[in-house]
Chain A
Amino acid sequence: MKKIVEQVCSFYYGHRKKLLIMRNAVLIILISAFQVLATGSYSQTAQLNLKLKDATIKEVLTEIENQSEFYFLYNSELIDVTRKVDISVKGEKVNDILSRLFSDNEVNISISDRHIVLTPVTEKSGQQQNSISGKVTDTNNQPLPGVTVVVKGTTTGTVTNPDGNYTLSNIPNDATLQFSFVGMKAQEILVGSQTSINVSMVEDAIGIDEVIAVGYGTQKKVNVTGSVQSISSDALLKRNVPNASSALQGMAAGVSVVQTSGSPGAAGTVITIRGRGSLNSSSSPLILIDGVEGNMDKIDMNTIETVSILKDAASASIYGSKASNGVILITTKRAKAGDVKISYSGFVGMNTATELPVPVSALGYMEQVNIAKVNSKQAPQYSQETIDQFKASGPDNMTTFDTDWKNLVMKDNALSHNHSVSLSGGSDKVRFFANGGYYYQDGMIANNDYNRKTLRINTDADVTKWMKVGVDVNIGQSTTVRPIETAESIINKAITFVPVFSGLNDDGTFGYGQNGDNPYATATAGGTYNTVIPQLGVKGFIEINPLKGWVTTASYSSNSLETREDYFRKPYDTYEGGVFKVTNPTSGAEKRESNARLISNQFNFQSYFEKTVDGNYFKVLGGIQSEERLGHSMFAMRKGYYYDGFEELDHGDITTVSNGGTSYEYAMLSYFGRINYNYKERYLLELNGRWDKSSRFMKDYQLGFFPSASVGWRISEEAFFEPLKNVIGNLKMRGSYGTLGNQDLRGDYYPYAATLSSGYGYWFDKVQGTGVAQTSSANEKISWEKSTQMDIGLDASMFSNKLGITFDYYTRKIHDMLQQFPIPSFVGLGSPWENAGSMENKGWDLSLLWNDQIGNVKYHVTGALSDVKNKVTNLYGNEYISEKIVTEGESINSWYGYVAQGYFQDQAEIDASPVYGNKATVTPGYVKYEDITGPDGVPDGIINSLDRTIIGDATPRYEYSLDLGAEWNNFDFSLFLQGVGKRDIYYSGSGARPFYIGRTIFESQLDYWTPENPNAEFPILLIDGTGANPNNLPSTQWVKNGAYLRIKNVVLGYTLPKKVLNNYKLDNLRVYVSGQNLLTFSNAYAGYDPEQSVNGGSFYPLNRTLTVGLDIRF
């Protein structure tokens, strides 16, 4: 078996394989280059000067490439390019030079403009041998040049010419031809009696020659020693969600993506890589868009080329201080020289809430609240007479009402649509890629929507053959509109407000609602809160390549992110029974405007050198990065608006003026370096180091050093593995160890400084003064939080790349944790930050990929499964207790409370049992709690705080996903399942409790304890004005299994056949329908989506979305 080492040695006038040259890119470059440049004159005019002594032919060819726009396509296994020659020519044409290098009977030279294909002249001899020819194309029927065709087991072979054609002579009938190409699945075809063999190459999803983005560069996937997962833009786009963060859900093992809100444009997606990486500091990964920190939800997904996720310390440590929680590298598309390409993709979707609780009707409320009152030993709230009358005549909408708040406030469905137009093209000197995107999503309540406009222009220019510059511009603006009261609060009220209150009167006036609070009026007439976030990012870079293998890049970027908010509060009048009740709010109209701006400037300089000597490959990278952030904000407001329609600040009453503003800044200075070494791509080594200094710490504590090392062994490249190679094409073991840092102190930019803040004035003589107060304590010794991570991994591909497996086991220890130990309230200050304590995450990630073809149905199955277990290892004896406990030896997200042992079924049981609080008030149907311990370490017959224990873990575990895809003729189908194997949800507040602080009861909560229903879901129905009844203590009663399986995404697409497309001069046209969150299986409470961390009843429901979409390429 021959190994194809240098299939395409160099193929592009410029210089080097860059990240953008990936498998698809290779194709597109070549194709477009041929189309543009097939004029044939260049080779006749270009004149070359060469003076090389004792150089290999390969070096000569490279020099020609450097001097000219030629590039060579050849297979170094078939053509001896290591032969040394001396050459000295002046002003010669390339053809003549090549004739000097190769004798006629050795190599066929085929020149097509700037592309020169070198193929060996195959010997003519023997009998029973045929000449075989054919054409190699891709799946779109485009010719593929440069495809290596060899006779298996021999050195006989060739490379396809610019038209994708090849010819091989003297091939025995029993020979097998191997076709291989970067990024394509290799194919073997038995010759037999055929004389013409046409081959269609299929993209290889786990191609071993794939190049993926790594920190500050790219790397061949096979040589990666860390845990890096690359996701193509196609995979993301197929999800048909507007935000990249949502699209990542389930895409990579070990990357947990949880949707917490369905709010239009919500930043409700929480991404964690390999478990929660910090107790108090950020646990979000570092997101870099073309090397600059950014928000992936603020860019159009059609501009994304690839996403690379750096999961382990070895991959991430070159980003040092900010990489503790992993890194997500997003690379945007760049143009290739060639025709101007235009593409459009868009979809229209209809959103409905996945789950919502169902409140009872007015009559149901009256009956149930009476039961609760009686159970609470109180007089019934409604007389039987009132109820009977209501039953008989229904609501009169004067004094009695039956308001379906949910129906009144919430829409059944809401529209969303997304449009994206891309334009790319350019000459071989200057290229540009541009994309404009627009996304709109309507909300589930009135006056609530979101839109996002984005524009990105990436340009590249080759100033000389060795210098390239580029400017990228990224402009975007998102606008969110919502009622002044948050949508979550309004929805909470819509679900929980008591139906007996008036919502919308017959005459169209607003009802009095619950105590004058009418969520319908608030949403529709209370005024809107508008958030406009314009952003502008500019990046310029210069790249020089003075010597072969040496590349130096410098870039500067500046990003401005503004947040402009304003609202004009409009009071609304409420009426009940035709009588004016109150104006809400009574404080009258008010206007507030605010503006916050964050400017981030980043300078980056890096340089690398790479060389291969006798199978020893070295690459050394070094760089400097500086970064600063400057934040500034201000607001102004007035009240007292007396004339309708005049809503500017100036129109308000000047005596009510208030305003304020502040600013902050921080800076980082970093140095980083990396050494890669491999021997024949068999033994792999990588060392990384980064030195970071942050202005957030005092001088002596500023420096953090974050090193890592990783090794890899490609067993499949060993000689002894040869017999297995047919089955296991690639097998690599990896190991890595490294340290990462974290300094994100929840917006605290000067944690070392004890400071007094303004804004604490008093009203002496009724005029507000400028008071100051110290509100939190400081720690001068505060420094980096660090984590170390060990990762052992295995990559394998089998059965001719049909099956791919990646498995990783890791431990992640977080130490010197940034913590604010809860200090007693009598200190009167917030806790200081300290570097103390440690915790660890242990887990594993498994990815499996199968792709194959049955008949003409191509299909793939991709699965991901991962687990992570968190344990807090050292808190210096401290505990943080709320509904959750953070304590040594337990998971950080442990629910903490009492153990419920069902319900008291009779008085005797109560008499014989310890109870919480006053025994006299406990009746059958109350939750019975376990007396776990007492002050002396044994049960003491009293239920109090000592009886609390761990009652669940909120961390999702065994997260899994399964992507099933198939293509048949022009149809494509995919089914994406996603789920969580284990998770505990704790429900509280109006999420769990009927009549909580005067709210209503849901249909699902009617399953409460009565003597006839002793094993009910809910305890005895009680009035719960303050939420203080003992049944509501955090306990296992309210902890539910949050595991779920969800049909996350289904897509059915149809691509128009080429024939049809050609008639309309289209490259591609695909239409599809898709559905999100179609079906969920779970045991959580009815009405609540198990994925959403809803527990207090205040939330924005997730969306079930049906989408129709269209992609066109011209």
Chain B
Amino acid sequence: MKNFIYKASIFLALITVSISCEDFLDREPVDYSTTGFFQSTVAIQSGLEGVYSTLYINNYYSNRPMTVIMDYFTGLAVERTENTTVGAGGGLVPAHSYVAQFWNGNYLTIARANSLISGSLPYIDGLDDKAKLYILEARVLRAYAYYNLISVYGDVPFFTEPVVPEQFEDPKTSKVEILDFVLSELDAAAEVLPWIAANRGHADKAFALGLKARAALLGGSLNYGGKGANYFKTAATAAQSVIGNRTLATNRDDLFTIPGQAKADVRSELIFEWMHSSLGSTKYHIMAFGAVSRNYGQTGIHPTQMLADTYECIDGLRIDESPLYNVKKPSANRDPRFNATLWMHGDTVVATTSGTTPNVKFVLEAYNKTNMFYNFSKNIWESKTNADIQSAAAWASFANAGLGFITKKYATDTSEPVSKSTFNVPAMRYAEVLLTYAEAKIELNELDASVYDAINLVRNRVGMPNVSADRIGVQNKMRQLVRRERKVELIFEGLHFVDMRRWQIGDIENFGPCYGYPIALTKDAVTGNITSGGYADATPDMIPNFKLDARHDLNDIPSYESFKAKLKVRDVNRFWDPKFALWPIPQTEMDRDPGLIQNEGY
């Protein structure tokens, strides 16, 4: 019996141990619950950071804002590969990854902004001013994303609150409706936001209004809903209100370097920036590294001759009109922005590949197997192999795959390695607002002094002369000038892709082969260096024809037809299809939302 009790008690003990409490299954997530989260300023700030963190839409090339990359899908630049890229036309298909990346990236901004805006709505009355500012910033970013979407895809699905499953099959909303929403949102934000954000990186009133001007200009140029003139007016008004509340940087070169960006005048011009940093886990970009000489970096993207030829001579005249233009030395006597934006044959390049001081310096001899390099340890110049011509990777260099130019813009900061740049990338500059103002006014044909002042401000800063007298009061001539200014001032800042479509000149700018530097013909048998040819052999007839017709002339689109045999050529199969005015809706999105209709032609 004793034995039995013993056995029974052990059995009961085991049973007892095994009976678990019900709360055994209560396991709380470590993440914050979305419900009721956005009640406090701190929470809203965290949510807002989540929205801002979507702003870098980095694509295939990585660590470069997508809109900047998109400038390489125009006639002013090319990618390394030929013919089949988005820029050359062949790659622009619904399944292309860029098409999806830009779409997804912008909708991510919108979704996070909607989540913050809607999530904080029930608590809005109890929030302090700072929190309310943050919510307005989220609305600005949402507007920015919608502007990006309509400017690239046209009509798109439109949501101002978190998307619910019932909306998964929603059709597209008219771009006009979306644009009007964007403009009203920016108005609402501009009423409250400060002119300049106290904390760098935040959207402020200048950005809200500048963006409003940028967006309205799109509606104006493309005559959205037949209300083109109204949009131009809106653009002009919005831009005008910024004028005087921000200033241009004294030295334009300061805009793209770490030391420069620390200056107050630069801070004033940089209305909105993609923030980068060398602190903590670091946020860097490779704007420079991927676009330079093989002697110290890589080249994946190349400026074209068309861009180079857009820069006026220092006298304010186009190269086909200026007596100062020298075909043998095209960089001489040019708008200083030529030399600030491009490096070419004969230029001396200085760069830092590691550390904080320059360690590379050489003379770019595009044709020659050897270049003169500066030996920093010996403080002498030495002749060394030119990797752009004479290395295993030379075929991918600016000299071989490119058109004779290197993007110098973004590559002048020698205070940090070229492949790990952490200066901020401008997303909007005061210079753009000035030119937007001018363009809107010109399109409205309201050619008053404020228009010339705006353009002159931008031109004078770099030492270019005022608007010439023959342009005063002539709408088309002013139109030509403002378009030229936008190209030369703002290229590779993510604006020209939309500008080209806004001006509807893809068929003449982004069509056919693109051309580059004169081909070198004669070489030294021993050294392999060029003895003649190239720029040395360029002849006076090698000035392109800008006047093929009025549209070419107006938009500064040159023709190289008469001497093309002497030029480097790229993308012989490049083509323009009217459907390229809009990008296709990404294939994956078409697959998932049966309510969408593909853009025409795709």
Show the binding face of A for B, using Cβ within 8 Å. Answer: 376-378, 381-382, 398-401, 466-467, 498, 500-502, 512, 514-516, 542, 544, 546, 552, 554, 576-577, 579, 581-583, 585-588, 603-605, 607, 624, 626, 628, 637, 639, 655-658, 662-669, 693-695, 702, 749-750, 753-758, 760-774, 822-829, 879, 881, 917-918, 920-921, 945, 998, 1023, 1025-1026, 1028-1029
B201 engages A764 (CB within 8 Å): yes
Question: Which of B92-100, B333-341, B435-443 contacts its partner?
Answer: B92-100
B393 engages A501 (CB within 8 Å): yes
A749 engages B27 (CB within 8 Å): yes
Closest to A881 in B: B591
User: Taking the complex as formed, is B159 at the interface, i.e. its CB lies under 8 A from any CB of chain A?
Assistant: yes
Contact of B34 among A624, A664, A669, A755 (CB under 8 A): A755
A586 engages B29 (CB within 8 Å): no
B104 engages A771 (CB within 8 Å): no
Q: Which residues of A contact B26 (CB under 8 A)?
A: 695
Going nearest first, the 3 A-B pairs with the smallest beta carbon separation are: A828-B111, A1025-B81, A771-B49
Q: Which residues of B contact A546 (CB under 8 A)?
A: 4, 7-8, 11
A544 engages B7 (CB within 8 Å): yes
Whole-angstrom distance between the Cβ of A1024 and the nearest chain B Cβ: 8
Known: A586-B353, A605-B18. A1023 touches B392 (CB 8 A): no
Closest to B300 in A: A515
Known: A376-B82, A750-B31, A825-B103. A500 touches B392 (CB 8 A): yes
B283 engages A763 (CB within 8 Å): yes
- Greatest chain B CB density within 10 A among A398, A544, A668, A827 is at A827
A881–B112 alpha-carbon span in the complex (Å): 26
A778–B523 alpha-carbon span in the complex (Å): 68
User: Taking the complex as formed, is B37 at the interface, i.e. its CB lies under 8 A from any CB of chain A?
Assistant: yes
Q: Would you list 8 pairs from A and B whose C-beta atoms are within 8 A, ordered by A residue? A: A381-B395, A400-B392, A544-B11, A586-B419, A605-B17, A664-B29, A756-B32, A772-B49
Chain B residues numbered 563-587 whose CB sits less than 8 Å from any CB in chain A? 572-573, 575, 586-587
User: Taking the complex as formed, is B168 at the interface, i.e. its CB lies under 8 A from any CB of chain A?
Assistant: yes
User: Taking the complex as formed, is B379 at the interface, i.e. its CB lies under 8 A from any CB of chain A?
Assistant: no
Closest to A398 in B: B385
Q: Which residues of B contact A603 (CB under 8 A)?
A: 17-18, 20
Q: Which residues of B contact A655 (CB under 8 A)?
A: 278-280
Closest to B18 in A: A605
Known: A768-B283, A921-B90. A667 touches B27 (CB 8 A): yes
User: Taking the complex as formed, is B200 at the interface, i.e. its CB lies under 8 A from any CB of chain A?
Assistant: yes
Given contact pairs A656-B279, A768-B277, a sample of 10 additional A-B residue pairs in the complex whose CB atoms are under 8 Å apart: A378-B82, A583-B353, A583-B354, A587-B282, A656-B282, A761-B49, A766-B276, A768-B283, A822-B592, A945-B94
Closest to A516 in B: B298
Chain B residues numbered 35-72 whose CB sits less than 8 Å from any CB in chain A? 35, 37, 43, 45-53, 55, 60
Known: A587-B420, A666-B27, A755-B29. A657 touches B280 (CB 8 A): yes
A770–B80 alpha-carbon span in the complex (Å): 38
B32 engages A764 (CB within 8 Å): no
Known: A637-B281, A755-B29, A917-B90. A1028 touches B46 (CB 8 A): no
A771 engages B353 (CB within 8 Å): no
A921 engages B84 (CB within 8 Å): yes
User: Taking the complex as formed, is B33 at the interface, i.e. its CB lies under 8 A from any CB of chain A?
Assistant: yes
A1033–B126 alpha-carbon span in the complex (Å): 56
Q: Which residues of B contact A771 (CB under 8 A)?
A: 46-50, 52-53
Instruction: Report the count of interface residues on B (CB-CB < 8 A).
Output: 111
User: Taking the complex as formed, is B30 at the interface, i.e. its CB lies under 8 A from any CB of chain A?
Assistant: yes
Q: Which residues of B contact A758 (CB under 8 A)?
A: 31, 46
B32 engages A377 (CB within 8 Å): no
A669 engages B163 (CB within 8 Å): no
B420 engages A773 (CB within 8 Å): no
Known: A605-B15, A626-B24. A664 touches B37 (CB 8 A): no
Q: Which residues of B contact A917 (CB under 8 A)?
A: 90, 93
Q: Which residues of B contact A398 (CB under 8 A)?
A: 385
A498–B284 alpha-carbon span in the complex (Å): 29
B200 engages A628 (CB within 8 Å): no
A1026 engages B34 (CB within 8 Å): no
Whole-angstrom distance between the Cβ of A654 and the nearest chain B Cβ: 10
- Greatest chain B CB density within 10 A among A669, A774, A881, A998 is at A774
A512–B165 alpha-carbon span in the complex (Å): 52
A542–B200 alpha-carbon span in the complex (Å): 66
A399 engages B199 (CB within 8 Å): no
Q: Which residues of B contact A754 (CB under 8 A)?
A: 33-35
Known: A695-B27, A768-B280. A586 touches B354 (CB 8 A): yes
Contact of B107 among A761, A822, A825 (CB under 8 A): A825
Contact of A554 among B17, B27, B30 (CB under 8 A): B17
Whole-angstrom distance between the Cβ of A616 and the nearest chain B Cβ: 26
B393 engages A773 (CB within 8 Å): no
Per-position contact with A for B258-296: 1 when CB-CB < 8 Å, else 0? 000000000000000001111111111000000000001
B112 engages A828 (CB within 8 Å): yes
Q: Which residues of A contact B24 (CB under 8 A)?
A: 626, 628, 667, 669
Q: Which residues of A contact B573 (CB under 8 A)?
A: 377, 920-921
User: Taking the complex as formed, is B593 at the interface, i.e. its CB lies under 8 A from any CB of chain A?
Assistant: yes
A760–B283 alpha-carbon span in the complex (Å): 13
Q: Which residues of B contact A637 (CB under 8 A)?
A: 281
B14 engages A576 (CB within 8 Å): no
A761–B49 alpha-carbon span in the complex (Å): 5
Q: Which residues of B contact A500 (CB under 8 A)?
A: 392
A37–B353 alpha-carbon span in the complex (Å): 81
A918 engages B90 (CB within 8 Å): yes
Closest to A467 in B: B10
Closest to A544 in B: B10
Known: A694-B25, A826-B107, A918-B575. A1023 touches B417 (CB 8 A): no
Known: A774-B34, A918-B90, A1028-B91. A769 touches B25 (CB 8 A): no
Contact of B31 among A399, A544, A756, A768 (CB under 8 A): A756
Q: Which residues of B contact A401 (CB under 8 A)?
A: 392
Whole-angstrom distance between the Cβ of B267 and the nearest chain A Cβ: 11
Contact of B387 among A378, A576, A624, A1025 (CB under 8 A): A576
A946–B88 alpha-carbon span in the complex (Å): 25
Q: Which residues of A contact B10 (CB under 8 A)?
A: 467, 542, 544
